Structure 1
Amino acid sequence: MTHPCLTCGACCASFRVDFSVHETQEYGGDVPDGLTVEVNAGLRRMRGTDHASPRCAALTGRVGERAACGIYEWRPSPCREFEAGSDACQRARRRHGLPAFQE
């Protein structure tokens, strides 16, 4: 069975994603520099997540149908820590008109 997150992607199109500069390739981390924007000297943000209708630049596919992270292995800590089925997940799904997450 396909994991529900692979057909969702709502979290990637709902929230601002900020993280330490040390997670970027420039500072020895894994997150590709070209997919980030500078917030300040110590913070970077995933490109596209600060728009009025956020959508992470690494998100591929269509929210609610087939979605995936183009940099899954190199995604920043907020994405790694995001929990399927959490309150934030449920809010993101509602925002995109998707039913509640069921395990």
Structure 2
Amino acid sequence: MDFHRSELASAMPGGVPDAMTVPVIRRLVRMRGTDTASPRCIALDGEIGVEVRCTIYDSRPSPCRDFAPYAPIGIGEDACDRARARHGLKPL
């Protein structure tokens, strides 16, 4: 998951911890663990399908903030459903 460097803690108070990212290109960084064959964000804690949480929820990057913005009103997110299916979980 890539996002602009301006979202890092080194660039703004409350930003994403720099140590949890790797550089992609000059202006982009990526959350560690999200570019592997079995992607798992370094900030994800717990067991998928049982209970998980984001350890940096309050400082998560914009792609996470934008993910499934309409879920609270019952509108699904295809990317979320695909991710859940990879782990044998039903769509929300």
TM-score in terms of structure 1 length? 0.79
Alpha-carbon distance, 1:92 to partner: 0.7
Q: CA RMSD in A?
A: 1.0
Q: Which residue is equivalent to 2:5?
A: 21
Q: Which residue is equivalent to 1:92?
A: 83
What is the number of equivalent residue pairs in this alignment?
Answer: 85
Alpha-carbon distance, 1:27 to partner: 1.7
Q: Give yes or no for the alignment of 1:74 onto 2:65.
A: no
Matching residue's letter, 2:54: C
Alpha-carbon distance, 1:22 to partner: 0.2
What does the per-residue CA deviation read over 1:28-82, in whole Å, with 9 as the maximum and x for residues that have no partner? 2510001000001100000000111100000000011000000000000000000
Q: Which has the higher contact order (CA 8 A, sep 6+)?
A: 1
Q: Which has the higher helix share?
A: 1
SS for the counterpart of 2:82 is: helix
TM-score in terms of structure 2 length? 0.88
Q: Which residue is equivalent to 2:33?
A: 48
Matching residue's letter, 2:79: A
Alpha-carbon distance, 1:25 to partner: 1.1
SS for the counterpart of 1:27 is: coil
Q: Which residue is equivalent to 1:3?
A: none
Query: After the TM superposition, which segments of 4 or more aligned residues of structure 1 sit over 2 Å from their partners?
Result: none
More deviation, 37-46/77-86: 77-86
Structure 2 segments unaligned to the other structure (5+ residues): none
Structure 1 segments unaligned to the other structure (5+ residues): 1-16
Give percent identity, aligned residues only.
55
